[in-house]
Amino acid sequence: MSRNFGIRLASALAAGMLLLNQQGMPQDDSGLGAVQIPEQRLPLCFGFRDIRNPRALEVCDALNLKENVRARELSEQWVREEPDNPAAQFALAEVLFTIEGNMPRALFHLNRAEELTDYGSFEEALDSGNIQWHYLTLSQLSYVHQLMGEQLLSLEYLDKIKEIYDQDIESFRGWPLIKLKQYEEARASANRVLENSDDRMARARAWNTLCAVELASLAPVESMGACERSISEDDAIAAQTGAVDTVYLTNASEVALSLLRMDEAEQYLDRATRYLNPDSVADPWVYKLYLLMSQARHDEARQALDRMLVWRDQQEPIVNVMNRAEHFMVSADFLLLAGYIEDAVKLSGTALNQPDRNGSYSADDAQKDSYAALVHHIALRSAYELAMERAASQPLTARLTAQFKAQNLRLQAWRSGRRAAALFSDTEVLQSRLRPYSPLDVHIPEWIEPHIVELVGTGVVANTLNQARENGAFQLNDGYFYAYSSEIAALEGEHEQVLAFGEQALALLPDVEALVQARVSARMARAAWETGNQALALRLYEQVLQQDPGLLRRLGDALPVQISATDNSLTESIADALERSPRLQLASAGLPLRIRDDGNPVACLDNQAGSPLACYTFDTSDLSTMSDSESAGSRDPDAIVAAFSQAFHSELFGLGFDISQAQRSRLLGSSVILSSQTNANMRNSQEAFLGR
């Protein structure tokens, strides 16, 4: 999804104070007459250098020194002692907003500050002595309302600033208009900026607006001109200030993806990852991780996950509030792939059940919630399948109990799926979702989107799919159209159509779309097996296990195998447990799965050529670490069978990554206050991150 340039209006219009001074701001007259005193350059305070209120300066000093608790205490004490002082109300709002990311409470105090400075003209504001605080309050109200999704109010406050202070706020109008889907108005606004302004930051925002506007059509854009111009403007700003905003580079990457220029998209992201940008809403590692996952570059994806956490930990709290759901969702997707299903459930559920402030993103809250509900549905369904796998390894009584408990996961998955389907069933939204890498919508990986077909219904999706094709959604590559067509045919049980559509999809899809290809291959494999073409089915299943081994669990499919075991009570018990597994389908023509006892039980799955696809050896001495108690860690046959079966499934249907519980817990994030307070302690890790 495209992003807005995340600079606050108060900071961007800091030069406005110069205009106010020129128009008659009261000057400090201490009766020194003609004595000339060198002008002292005051430090920035709330974006300005001429704030002289000692209590405000004291709060700003604390903020500049990262003494965040002290800043909070000073501003709260100020409000208690002077509740009718707009400066005090604004200062507390700024601490709540900037340091804690607490937008609702910040908005309360901003509204109070506005009530105390209800001026209708510049002269009235000037005579009041509170002109700075009025100006700051209006600008911050516009920004907070934008982030909270109240775009009409954001525009109203921009109009107030223009009306009272005659400030050029045109470059800030584009993004609220985009969020309101008023694309032509946004285009006209951006063009006015480009025609009338020489300010590089304003022009960068205008080009960024045009970059997003050009993506509103369902058909792909013809060029990346506007996005590249926004990058060049930002490069010029960076050359002067040393500050780089990764928004422009990640937006350009999104556009490149929408044009299916995957290599170019990765190049933009690689440029963005060179900078640690605490103020930017665009974390390039999120999108690098998505890209690597889709291409089945699993080892690189694992490294990108670590880098993403370093980036996230150094974000400013308000940025953390704005993009935390992005971090949760991409982490949940990776954990799904890696086989850590319970953690994927937790992360997707957390993203679904908390508000997110994404006014700087082109996608709306409903899309974020639907994506979270979709992934939560997939994770819960996978958790159900995992529970059934584990139940299959248990003795009869325990197995029946576990299977009964697993039905609750299935019910939860159904509920989450209904929630996701609520938005996706809208024809316009669904058409946009079907377009590969739809750049103005929330980023849902192409390998996850086909799950929408089952939720919304094959008939609805089939009709919308054809409409989207006619409107140019698949203009750049028809392979995605055939991939969806094979998914629809699979759900309808039309095996011959699955094979026909799937063959076209695999021939046309970009080579780097490994996970989309894996899903098509899995659907074709089941269709081939059901139509008697076992050789083709097994070859396709082998490919799936290499590209996306957890896919069979997410689809609820089973791998055809022929199980053989040495004449041994333990290996035979293991074979019996594996035969009950919902992930394995017994078939005389299936892939060979050999179980033997070499002092420790061993299982090897071979391909059709007889080469091992996966081998697992279970060390029974480790059983105590995998059981509920030390006493259960003896060579109890039932415990060994259950532990072996579960470990074998993890080996066969996972990526083999050992992600510690501590790191998985860290993916859930920490308090934004603690994050802010510990930023100063992370400099060493940041330097190492950048290779300095």
- Give pLDDT tens digits for 458-495: 999 999 999 999 988 898 999 999 999 999 999 999 99
Residues 484 and 568 in one domain: no
Q: Can you give the residue range of the structural domain that contains 619?
A: 559-653
Residues 585 and 521 in one domain: no
Per-residue model confidence (pLDDT) at position 690: 42
Residues 465 and 403 in one domain: yes
Residues 540 and 578 in one domain: no
Q: Are 435 and 468 in contact (CB under 8 A)?
A: yes
Residues 435 and 500 in one domain: yes
- Once rounded to an integer, what is the mean pLDDT over residues 9-25? 44
Per-residue model confidence (pLDDT) at position 7: 46
pLDDT at 13 over 60: no
Dihedral (Cα; 219, 223, 224, 225), 10-degree rounding: -130
| pLDDT digits 0-9 by tens, 667-686 | 876 433 333 333 444 444 44
Q: Are 92 and 76 in contact (CB under 8 A)?
A: yes
pLDDT at 12 over 70: no
- pLDDT tier at 239 (50, 70, 90 boundaries)? low
Please give the Cα distance from 401 to 391 (Å, whole number).
8
Q: Assess if residue 692 is contained within a domain.
A: no
- Once rounded to an integer, what is the mean pLDDT over residues 605-634? 70
| pLDDT digits 0-9 by tens, 444-457 | 899 999 999 999 99
Indicate the DSSP class of residue 410: H
Q: Assess if residue 611 is contained within a domain.
A: yes
Residues 22 and 163 in one domain: yes
CA angle 577, 581, 586 (to 5 degrees): 90
- Once rounded to an integer, what is the mean pLDDT over residues 225-250? 69
Q: Assess if residue 347 is contained within a domain.
A: no
Per-residue model confidence (pLDDT) at position 220: 64
The candidate with the shortest Cα–Cα distance to 536, out of 528, 544, 545, 526, is 528
- pLDDT tier at 352 (50, 70, 90 boundaries)? confident
Residues 393 and 523 in one domain: yes
Residues 152 and 76 in one domain: yes
- Once rounded to an integer, what is the mean pLDDT over residues 414-423? 89
| pLDDT digits 0-9 by tens, 54-101 | 999 999 999 989 899 999 999 999 999 999 999 999 999 999 998 888
Lowest-pLDDT range of 182-196, 313-327, 596-610, 627-641: 627-641
Cross-strand bridge partners of residue 584: 559
Per-residue model confidence (pLDDT) at position 207: 85
Domain boundary among 532, 555, 578: 555
pLDDT at 37 over 50: no
Q: Assess if residue 174 is contained within a domain.
A: no
Q: Assess if residue 267 is contained within a domain.
A: no
- pLDDT tier at 321 (50, 70, 90 boundaries)? confident
CA angle 34, 39, 41 (to 5 degrees): 165
Per-residue model confidence (pLDDT) at position 357: 57
Name, in order, each residue with C-beta under 8 angstroms of 341's C-beta and a sequence gap of 6 or more. Answer: 335, 379, 382, 383, 386, 553
- pLDDT tier at 28 (50, 70, 90 boundaries)? very low
Residues 479 and 574 in one domain: no
- pLDDT tier at 29 (50, 70, 90 boundaries)? very low
Q: Assess if residue 229 is contained within a domain.
A: no
SS3 per-residue string spanning 641-660 = HHHHHHHHHHHHCCCCCCCC
Domain boundary among 106, 141, 167: 167
The domain spanning residue 128 has which CATH number? 1.25.40.10
Domain boundary among 136, 167, 198: 167
Lowest-pLDDT range of 228-232, 245-249, 427-431, 477-481: 228-232
Q: Assess if residue 395 is contained within a domain.
A: yes
* 445-457 exposure pattern, b = at least 16 Cβ within 10 A, e = fewer: bbbbbbbbbbbbe
Q: Assess if residue 308 is contained within a domain.
A: no
Residues 428 and 575 in one domain: no
* β-pairing verdict for 591-597 and 612-617: unpaired
Per-residue model confidence (pLDDT) at position 295: 97
Residues 160 and 59 in one domain: yes
Residues 463 and 570 in one domain: no
Q: State the total domains in the chain.
A: 3
Name, in order, each residue with C-beta under 8 angstroms of 52's C-beta and a sequence gap of 6 or more. Answer: 28, 42
- pLDDT tier at 217 (50, 70, 90 boundaries)? low
